[in-house]
Chain A
């Protein structure tokens, strides 16, 4: 996707050093923590499941005639007859959430491109915080327990939560050019994992006061985040008069002219930049249509690839602790702690692979290499011995090769796709494209959760791993046309350079 002649500059250095104003840092942190908070409230839900299910069920102490008194204290809650059915319902809520989240992603990307990204993101955070508050806190305070009400709220929550990802990726894509994008986005992709840790921490801190307070705290913090985003987020450099980023390499003439100013841009310089740039930013770009966005080269292929890859990635998130305690008989808390290594591998993998792809200026080949290694590491992990250190090491490697590419497609590559030459200048496509890619991925993930439980029950864990290997291979298959194209471009470039010398 890069222009053949674009390699004449050292992109990584420039993109990272000379571009970095305090606005960039603020945008990086704001978007990072916005998505972290959204993810934290999701994590809270999975962390309070035990408390919720005991709130919803009567106590059945060894089911003898001996009934616990007083009745109101021990048996008055009858939403579900026992904990198993409550767990089943909570699992259903998870699935409902994933599907409505996937559907929402398609919609909110389109909305995000048409309305102000800041408004959409801030609205999404605040309203989904309110829904979480209704779901977890208000129903408990009013003692209003109703299955259908819970389902409806969780569908709405999925739709509202989905505004987050397309908006934050679009904002990040506006601020960080393709040059350093792989590295910056790789680092930035840690936001989901940070959100998980934050959610688990917040929930565990206040769970003793009652599960409703776990929801209250995460919802309040998320609401506060929405308010801060509303007051503090700059959705694009042009809002403060900084030059807008070009399609894949920044418009060189405009950019070079401004470079002296940008080098040491601080508050004083903003005014000057503002006046210089004020004239040429008044043209409001038109948003791209949904089908137009689908037809952009690479969007469909990457979406399908991401559906397969996110399936594997999310299955690891959801099933890894269960697999570890089920297959090796390790304690649940230990398994939970150990499974963090997968996240760590994913963050490191995403960052390093992003950096490599920045240097190469090609993402698909890096992705393909990583996925080939992923197949190997999956095979290795399925035969991991019953030893925690060895398992943790192989898990980290697997996370490196699966989580890394997964992070890269959902963030850096989505941003590349939404800012490619074809949509340059004339239209806004970033959020729409991100929504399409991540939405397809989420559908894959939702279907995957179901398939994994099915396969595990009927065929056993080994077949789950074979299924993962199959899905990873399909990912490679889907991006292979892109690899061929990019390698051809790479060779063509080299050929041109050799001719020039």
Chain B
């Protein structure tokens, strides 16, 4: 009787195999339940067909030839982190569960971001330098909540503006955006105003989202708690059986067939 189970759907679906990164997200569990609840059977099926399960951003690792480039931010990060291993252009935490930690797309002749770029959303470190990139669309980094270090060509600004980062530095031909700020804490913008029962949560550099505050869940966070299915069914069933028996015994037992 509970909400129909199903794999998550939508933008966050590829994250399914690589859940949260230890960053606290207000109402994160509620949002997870929500996404499960919002899954249409058809949509789920489509996604299952389209996405290889369990391979967190794996497609991105082979999108660019060669291994991690020596001296890139990703390679440095991967080396400094215990247990992390590189595969193609990726830095992975073998897990389980396996997690995508870094992605090096530098010197890939990218004019724009690859189509499957959103799959790289869980990365912590990302290198886009030495690419002839034009200005990136505003929403490219939507959902990159774990991103801590981003290297972009000097021509480009840090996504979300420099106010979305704790530190912006220039290194030769690259610009390093370091330390994502939590836009929910900045009182300057009104972006963190969320509807009733919801709380602001970061959603990538300069982006906020509204997630249900515990114990609320469901579409528009209208639902609170879980319906006690078992007690309700038990009590109703027992009362019905008892009353039926009682009334049959006292009323209909001696009744003639109609």
Which residues of A are at the interface with B, using a C-beta cutoff of 8 A?
22-23, 26, 30, 51, 54-55, 59, 61, 66, 68-74, 76-77, 116, 118, 141-143, 206, 208-211, 213, 216-217, 220-221, 224, 227-228, 230-235, 239-241, 267, 270-271, 274, 278, 281
- In the complex, the answer to whether A232 meets B10 with C-beta atoms within 8 Å is no
Query: Nearest Cβ in chain A — how far from B140, in angstroms?
Result: 15
CB of A141 within 8 A of CB of B224, answer no
Report the Cα distance A131→B225, complex, angstroms.
Answer: 26
A210 pairs with B38, CB closer than 8 A: no
Contact with A along B233-250 (1 / 0, CB 8 A): 000100110011111101
Residue of A nearest to B227 (CB): A209
As a 0/1 sequence over residues 115 to 126 of chain B, the CB contacts with chain A under 8 angstroms (1 = contact) are 000000000000
* A-B residue pairs, 10 tightest by C-beta: A232-B247, A231-B244, A69-B209, A209-B227, A224-B240, A210-B223, A239-B255, A208-B224, A231-B248, A116-B258
Task: Find residues 189-228 in chain B having any chain A CB closer than 8 Å to their own CB.
Answer: 190-191, 194-195, 203, 207-212, 218-227
Chain B residue contacts of A211, Cβ below 8 A: 222
A51 to B222, Cβ gap below 8 A? yes
Q: Which residues of B contact A (CB under 8 A)?
A: 1, 3-4, 9-12, 31, 34-35, 38, 40-41, 142, 190-191, 194-195, 203, 207-212, 218-227, 232, 236, 239-240, 243-248, 250-252, 254-256, 258
Contact of A69 among B1, B210, B239 (CB under 8 A): B210
Chain A positions within 8 Å of B11 at CB level: 70-72
The DSSP consensus for interface residues of chain A is helix
Q: Which of A23, A141, A209 is close to B226, meaning CB atoms less than 8 Å apart?
A: A209
Closest to B37 in A: A143
Q: Is the CB of B236 within 8 A of A221?
A: yes
A240/B208 in contact, CB under 8 A: no
CA distance A217 to B227 in the complex (A): 10
Assess whether B4 is in contact with A142, with CB atoms less than 8 Å apart: yes
Chain B residues closer than 8 Å to A68, beta-carbon distance: 194-195, 209-210
Task: Select one of A70, A74, A233 contacting B251, CB under 8 A.
Answer: A233
The distance from the CB of A360 to the nearest CB of chain B, in whole angstroms, is: 34
In chain B, what residue has the closest Cβ to A76?
A: B38
Q: Determine whether the beta carbon of A26 is less than 8 Å from that of B251.
A: yes
A74 touches B220 (CB 8 A): yes
Contacts of A61 in B (CB 8 A): 195
Q: What would be 22 A-B contacts, judged by CB atoms less than 8 Å apart?
A: A66-B191, A72-B38, A73-B31, A73-B34, A73-B212, A73-B219, A209-B223, A209-B224, A210-B227, A211-B222, A213-B227, A220-B232, A220-B236, A221-B236, A224-B240, A232-B251, A233-B251, A234-B251, A239-B252, A239-B256, A239-B258, A241-B254
